[in-house]
Structure 1
Amino acid sequence: MTGAFDDLLAANEKYASTFSHSGLTGRAARGLAVVTCMDSRIDPLGLLGLTAGDAKILRNAGARVTDDVLRTLVLAVYLLGVNRVLVMPHTDCRMSKSTDEDVHKLLAEEHGIDTRSLEFQTVPDQPAALRHDITRIKSSPYLPADLVVGGALYDVHSGRLQPIEL
């Protein structure tokens, strides 16, 4: 693994030389799981005032509560100390600017691949999708009824959170 990753390996050497998190456990010290987007403009720990070990961070395109996110939340709740979940999509998200049909068409035309067997879960109405995803967590038979679940839209231009109520 060299060449294309040399910059990352060099950065890791520097990071490891002052590494100070070896005493952390796998548990979420603040009892928090955050479901957010893979967008590189989002620094979930920084924007929430957290540090390494405080929370479980689950990321995917559009910050959607997929089957895999639910599976991961079950593990986080029962094995890793999570007792609250924040679902946090963001403004200016590529997933909110098109439909699944648009994405399939774009990928076919520009890259020659047929993705129609995939569901991208685009989000033309972010508040509605966020409410749906919060409800999906709250109604899961695998998660405790008293699990605290909230949602907020993160503004990538101001750094502020806007809570979204059910």
Structure 2
Amino acid sequence: MTSAFDDVFAANADYAARFRHADLAPRAERGLAVVTCMDSRIDPLAALGLSLGDAKILRNAGGRVTDNVLANLVVGAYLLNVTRILVMPHTRCKMASVSGDAEVHDLIEREHGVDTRSLDFGTDSDQLAALRRDLERIRHHPLLPQGLEVAGAVYDVETGRVSPADL
């Protein structure tokens, strides 16, 4: 019987045969959490000179700081050695190229017949303003520890360059 996932399970069998990471601790060895987009053009470990186990990587559409991301950052800060957080959206992001959630809802309904209005996509065409708000959400969250280092940067999907955003 053929499955739509045969390729990934076969690849995993090869990976498991060479697996050498059983000794990694579940903590962020370099104290870093990265919030970024789920865009498959981004390899956050490689882009930031990190290795497996160095950081906690949180991904979603747009790389936004949602309530779920904040909950994960609280866990990371108290239980997984996270002492600094980098929020890293990227250029040419679909979530920043639309006028708002309504446009995404309309597009999905028009092209696929699915009403997604019960979902919040967090779109924002002013990416730097959205990044600024996301950084402030982290900096002022009452459950995150004082002194947590927080920064923003934008990943360029055409060059691979990460540019700090001094916000």
1:63 alignment counterpart = 63
Is the 1:131–1:165 contact (alpha carbons within 8 Å) kept by the matching residues of 2?
Answer: no
Letter in 1 for 2:67: D
1:145 alignment counterpart = 146
Q: Percent identity?
A: 62
Q: After TM superposition, which residue ranges in structure 1, 4 or more long, deviate above 6 angstroms? A: none
Unaligned 5+ runs, structure 2: none
- 1:110 Cα deviation after fit: 1.3
Q: What is the distance in 2 between the residues matched to 1:87 and 1:73?
A: 11
1:165 alignment counterpart = 166
1:128 alignment counterpart = 129
2:36 alignment counterpart = 36
Q: Is 2:156 aligned against 1:155?
A: yes
29 and 2 in structure 1: CA distance in 2 versus 1, 3 angstrom threshold: farther
- 1:2 Cα deviation after fit: 5.4
- 1:112 Cα deviation after fit: 1.2
Letter in 1 for 2:69: V
Over residues 28-51 of structure 1, what are the superposed CA-to-partner deviations in whole Å (9 max), with x where a residue is unaligned? Answer: 000000000000000000010000
Q: What is the distance in 1 between the residues matched to 2:34 and 2:165?
A: 15
RMSD: 1.1
Over residues 55-77 of structure 1, what are the superposed CA-to-partner deviations in whole Å (9 max), with x where a residue is unaligned? Answer: 00000000000000000000000
- 1:54 Cα deviation after fit: 0.3
Q: What is the distance in 1 between the residues matched to 2:68 and 2:97?
A: 23
1:14 alignment counterpart = 14
Unaligned 5+ runs, structure 1: none
Q: What is the distance in 2 between the residues matched to 1:16 and 1:116?
A: 41
1:80 alignment counterpart = 80
